[in-house]
Copies of this chain bind each other. A is one copy, B any other.
Amino acid sequence: MTDELSRKRADARRNRQLITEAARATFAAHGLDVPMRAIARRAGVGPATLYRHFPTKEALIAETFAVQMGRCVATLDAALDDPDPWHGFCSVIEKVCETQAVDRGFTAALLDSMTTDYVRVRDHNARRFAELTRRAKESGQLRQDFVPDDIKLLIMANGGIGAASPAAARAASRRLVALLIQSLRAHPADPPAPLPPPAPLDSHMDVKL
C-alpha cells in the first residue's frame, strides 16, 4: 500500500515535513494568528509551496494539531485504565492544561474544534471523559456537583493563562490547575496541600482577546 506521500517527489516530501515542523513551532509560540508567510519563511519555502501542500490555513492547522489531538486520546485511554479514577481524572486535566500552557495554538485549536471540526474525536472523547467523571464521583473523590461539561470551563480558564509569555505560562498554569483540582475534591484536606510556587506573570501581549 504505497501511500499518497511516498509516490511524491523527494523534495516535496522534505518540504512538507519542513512546513509541518515550522507550523508546529510557530503556532506553539505565537498562537494561530500568525501570517502564513511567517510559517513559509521559517520553513524556507515560498508561500505557494505552502499552499500547494495545504490548500488553506485551516487545513494546515488541522494537520498540525492532529498529533496533539491524538495525544489527548491517549491520555484519556491511560486515565480510563488507571485503577484509581481520581488519579486518572487529575492526570487528564494536568496533561491537557500542560499542553495548553506549552503550546499556545493548541488552546485555540481545541476551542474551535469544540464547534467546528474534529466532531467525531471530540464526541468520542466527551463520552469517555464523562465515564471517567462518573467513576471518579463513584469513588467518592470527585465532588458530586461536577459535571463533565465543566472540563470546558477548566480548559477555557487555563487557556486564558496562555496570554502570558510561554515560560511564565507554564508556572502559572501549574499553580492554577493545582488550585482548581483542590476545589474539585469531594473532601478537601485541611490544611490544603501546598501549591506550586508563584512566578511573575508578565503578559507579553501579542494577543487581543
Say yes or no: A209 contacts B111, CB within 8 Å: yes
Interface residue count on the A side (C-beta < 8 Å): 56
With contacts A180-B180, A201-B153 taken as known, whether A208 is within 8 angstroms of B31 at the C-beta atoms is yes
The answer on a CB contact under 8 Å between B209 and A149 is: no
B153 touches A172 (CB 8 A): yes
CA distance A183 to B181 in the complex (A): 9
Interface pair B180/A186, CB less than 8 Å apart: no
Task: With a 10 A CB-CB cut-off, give which of A157, A184, A187, A190 has the most chain B CB atoms.
Answer: A157
Q: How far is the CB of A164 from chain B (nearest CB, A)?
A: 7
Q: Which of A5-13, A75-83, A131-139, A192-200 contacts B (4 or more CB under 8 A)?
A: A192-200
Oligomeric state, in copies: 2
Q: Mark A103-141, 1 if CB is under 8 A from B, else 0.
A: 011011001101110000000000000000000000000
B198 and A187 contacting across the interface, CB-CB below 8 Å: no
Establish whether residues B209 and A32, one from each chain, have CB atoms under 8 Å apart when the complex forms: yes
- Asked whether any CB of chain B lies closer than 8 Å to the CB of A188, the reply is yes
Do A175 and B160 touch (CB < 8 A)?
no
> Contacts A145-B194, A198-B150; is A111 near B203 (CB within 8 Å)?
yes
Which A residues have a C-beta under 8 Å from some C-beta of B? 31-33, 104-105, 107-108, 111-112, 114-116, 143, 145, 147, 149-150, 152-153, 156-164, 172, 175-176, 179-180, 182-192, 194-195, 198, 200-205, 207-209
